[in-house]
Structure 1
Amino acid sequence: MDKIYHIGTVGQPWGDAEKAQWLSEQQIKRSFFDDVLPAIAALNNDFDVEQYGELDYQHVCGKSYPLFAVKSRNWQSNKPTVLVTGGVHGYETSGVHGALRFLQTKAQAYSEKVNILVLPCISPWGYETINRWNPQAIDPNRSFGESGKASEAQQVRQYLASLDTQFSLHIDLHETTDSDNSEFRPAKAAQDGTVNKNWNIPDGYYTVDDAEHPCPALQKAIIDSVAKVTHIAEPDDEGKLIGEPMQQPGVINYAKATLGLCGSVTDAPLVSTTEVYPDSPSATPEQCIQAQVAAVTGALEYLLQQG
């Protein structure tokens, strides 16, 4: 079903006035400073917590948002290094809290064998306003290439480059929500001057492999791990998930570097983007968080089995 967005003129891309109208409609709905920062600070006892950047949005909402990375201690160059990213899309709640839960419950045990780096909340303004975009109406998850314009993404790129580290595995934690069809995709189409055509939101968990550097065995290991916690998405009548052909049960492919996705931000040979469905009548918020943790641990077990 076509859905016409309330901002802009059909067939005409947004200009500054439309973006300003969109921004004026955004409201703070929850607190990064109450929900996320204390959890990050509490990890100081067991991990190295580093501030890698800041988002100065004083002109938008009167706030500046510190950006934090959490690192396992005793990094050793002979161990594989693993990156976990959450909150690239700030509204995807279990991505943020799944990254934190992994740190709180599982990361220390794995840090004996791997170096672990977690960026729990890359887009804190998006977290607070329950938004996919940043205040400039830019999607951070299309901005991880060299020409990307979202500061959220570019500060991650700069920080990772400063580490001069070769990553073996990168897991990027996301959700697919009903609001993708009701709000975010219609807004994107309006901004582009096109009309959105909805696809079915899959009921269940799935992963996105990299079409340019696929690692299907990793995706299977993740799916098998998550299936112990929550249900895996079934394909639609066309054998697709979110409009993309299913490659194996619960897996689709995207060209991550071409699209500027977070999954392309390192040269890691093993990459997966998780997609949890929090609006499912068959999944609780707690299950969604556990599914993200299961995705990370399933990926780590696969990595360690490769020797």
Structure 2
Amino acid sequence: MSYPIGTPGKPWNKEDKKAWFELQSVKRSYLDDVVSQLDSLSSDFNIEQYGALSYDSDKYPLYILKSKQWQADKPVVLVTGGVHGYETSGVHGALAFAKRSAKDYFADFNILVAPCISPWGYETINRWNPNATDPNRSFYADSPAEESAAIMQYLADNTIAPYVHIDLHETTDTDNSEFRPALAARDATTHDNWNIPDGFYLVADSERPHDAFQAAIIKSVEKVTHIAPSDENNQLIGVPQTQFGVINYQAKKLGLCMGLTDAEYVTTTEVYPDSPQANDDICIDAQVASITGALNFIVNK
């Protein structure tokens, strides 16, 4: 597939990245959609600003919710959303969990919720940041993405070592129509089109897969929405399925958000909002069910 920016066979230079940036436009408001909801959560959480994006520090402050009943001897749960800003249910699923369900787990866990790691990406409905960098491939030392660096710095500064990390994502039809072609053009690589799975699935960390943990999340989510079937090769997005609805990635090697800590239990959710069987509410409910399914497993194991 061709892409309108860059020279075929050559990785993007600064001018190409600038041309890409100039095509982007604001389509929704982070302050109105996300930040405006935080005050309503102040009875259960301390609302902490852990930074602001340099692109516009007034428009893009970064917030994390920290449970008020914080105790040093309780394990920490980290929920992240909006690492890819265009993946809407990740952002609103994180907020919905904080509103609806988080208090049910305060007795057992300290809970952190970072609802929107990439607010510029949220507003422009983008996978990348303004520098054409993918935050979800940038969770490593000296990160090139300030979105990734900011949350890593917050955890380091506060000596927080999560026991559980659930990173909320979506797989959308635009992954094939826009984002993978753009990636192929940016890096001068071949774009291999693949079928988008119709349904929910999980990406586990191959270094700490905890199959029973992943299975418990799938069982929780399938009460809300359908789980993606594998293709004829028993794969999802071109990756072998390890169990129903689950594939594994090397989280730290790839710089993924779920690899940003040494948490014992980690997973990345993938909701499919473009399914004819889904809608916005179902997608948000699936994200909440992912978190509650994960925490119920740990509490009861």
Return the TM-score normalized by structure 1: 0.96
- 1:23-34 correspondence runs (5 A): 23-34=21-32
- Total equivalences in the alignment: 301
For residue 45 of structure 2, what is the amino acid of its counterpart? Answer: F
Counterpart-to-counterpart distance in 2, 1:157 and 1:166? 11
Of 183, 186, 189, the residue aligned with 2:178 is 183
Query: What SS does the corresponding residue of 1:197 show, helix, strand or coil?
Result: coil
Corresponding position of 1:155: 150
Q: Distance in 2 between matches of 1:131 and 1:171?
A: 21
Displacement of 1:45: 2.4
Task: Answer whether contact 1:26 1:129 (CA < 8 A) is retained.
Answer: yes
Distance (Å, rounded) in 2 between the aligned partners of 1:284 and 1:64? 28
| 1:16-165 correspondence runs (5 A) | 16-58=14-56, 64-165=59-160
Q: Secondary structure at the match of 1:271?
A: strand
Alpha-carbon distance, 1:43 to partner:
1.1
Shift of 1:46: 2.1
Q: Structure 1 regions of 5+ residues with no counterpart? A: none
For residues 34-63 of structure 1, give each alpha carbon's deviation from its aligned partner in whole angstroms, at most 9, with x where no partner exists: 1101112221122100000100214xxx95
Residue 196 of structure 1 aligns to a residue whose secondary structure is coil
What is the one-letter code of the residue matched to 1:49? I
Identity %: 58
1:244 alignment partner, one of 239, 264, 276: 239
CA distance in structure 2 between the partners assigned to 1:76 and 1:175 by the alignment: 32
**Per-residue deviation at 1:130?**
0.2
Matched, 1:269 2:268: no
Distance in 1 between residues matched to 2:294 and 2:184, nearest whole Å: 34
Q: Is the 8 A contact 1:142 1:261 kept in 2?
A: yes
SS at match of 2:242: coil
Which residue in the other structure is 1:219 paired with?
Answer: 214
Superposed CA offset, 1:242-267 (max 9, x none): 11000000000000000000001111
* Runs ≥4 residues deviating over 3 A: none
Out of 291, 294, 299, the residue aligned to residue 299 of structure 1 is: 294
SS in 2 for 1:122: coil
Please give the secondary structure, in 2, of the residue aligned with 1:247.
strand
Once the 2 structures are TM-superposed, how far is the Cα of residue 148 of structure 1 from its aligned partner? 2.1
Distance (Å, rounded) in 1 between the aligned partners of 2:91 and 2:222: 20
The match for 1:202 is 197
Q: Is the 8 A contact 2:50 2:63 kept in 1?
A: yes
Shift of 1:109: 1.5
Distance 1:65 1:56 in 2: 8
In the alignment, the residues of structure 2 paired with residue 24 and residue 242 of structure 1 have an alpha-carbon distance, to the nearest angstrom, of 30
CA-CA distance at 1:212 after TM superposition: 1.9
Q: CA deviation at 1:236?
A: 1.0
